[in-house]
A and B are shown apart, each in its own frame.
Chain A
C-alpha cells in the first residue's frame, strides 16, 4: 500500500512551535507516513548549525516570559528536544527536510553544510508547492 504523504511548511523558528512540529512528526512516523518538510524563513534560522538544539538561541512564539518554565516542564516530562524528535522520525520513516534557499541566505547560510545534519537539501518554492499538491495531509507551522 502506498504510504500516506504529509507536507509540512515550517515557517516558525521558535522553540515552542518547533517542539509541536517534532511531536506531530512523531505521530506521522508511527503511522509510516512519508513526510516532506519545507523549512521557510524563520525556520531556516533554527536549522543553522550554530543554533539548532540550543534553546538559548531560540525564542518562544507565544508567552515568551514562560520560556524557562516551558523548557523545564519538557525536561521534567522527559520530552525530547525538537531536533531529537526530528532525528527519531527520520530513523523510523521517510522524512526529507528541504531548506528554502532564500531563507538560508537571509540568515547567512547558503550551503547544505551550513545547516544541522538532518537537512537533506536546499530547495525553491516550486518544490514546496508541488509537495503540498501531492500530499494527503498539509500543515503549516
Chain B
C-alpha cells in the first residue's frame, strides 16, 4: 500500500504503544487484536525501531495481513488487517 492509501484507511483500533520497549508493542498488538472483528484494520503506534520488523513477522505467523508502515515524527504507524 502507498503512504497515501495507509493514511486514508478506516482504522477500527489504534494502539498507542509508544511508551513501551520490545516486546511491549507486540504484546499490546496481540491483546488489542482480540477485541476487533475479522477484516477490521488495526494500527500500532510504536517508537521502538524493532517493532517495524516484529509486527510484519508476527502478522505473517498469525495470518493477519500486514498493510504497511508510515515512518516519521519519531515513531512508526504500523497497519494490519485482522484475518
A interface list, Cβ under 8 A from B = 23, 26-27, 29-32, 77-79, 88, 92
With beta carbons under 8 angstroms apart, the residue of A31, A78, A92 that contacts B62 is A31
Q: How large is the interface on B (under 10, 10 to 19, 20 to 34, 35 or more residues)?
A: 10 to 19
**B23 & A23 in contact (Cβ 8 Å cutoff):** yes
**B31 & A92 in contact (Cβ 8 Å cutoff):** yes
Given A26-B24, A88-B27, list of 6 further CB < 8 A pairs? A26-B26, A30-B27, A30-B58, A32-B62, A77-B21, A92-B30
Main secondary structure of the interface of A (DSSP, over half): helix
A27 CA / B26 CA spacing, docked (Å)? 7
Judged by a CB distance under 8 angstroms, whether B9 is at the interface is no
With beta carbons under 8 angstroms apart, the residue of A26, A32, A77, A78 that contacts B23 is A26
**B21 & A30 in contact (Cβ 8 Å cutoff):** no
B22, B27, B31, B58 interface centre (most CB from chain A within 10 Å): B27
Closest residue of chain A to B23 (Cβ to Cβ) is A26
**A30 & B23 in contact (Cβ 8 Å cutoff):** yes
Task: List the 9 shortest-distance A-B pairs measured between CB atoms, nearest first.
Answer: A26-B23, A30-B30, A77-B21, A30-B26, A27-B23, A26-B27, A79-B21, A31-B61, A23-B23
Q: Which residues of A contact B58 (CB under 8 A)?
A: 30-31
Q: Which residues of B contact A32 (CB under 8 A)?
A: 62
A29 CA / B26 CA spacing, docked (Å)? 10
Judged by a CB distance under 8 angstroms, whether B72 is at the interface is no
* A-contact bits for B53-64, CB 8 A (1 contact / 0 none): 000001001100
Q: Closest approach, in angstroms, between the C-beta of B4 and any C-beta of chain A?
A: 30
Q: Which residues of A contact B21 (CB under 8 A)?
A: 77-79
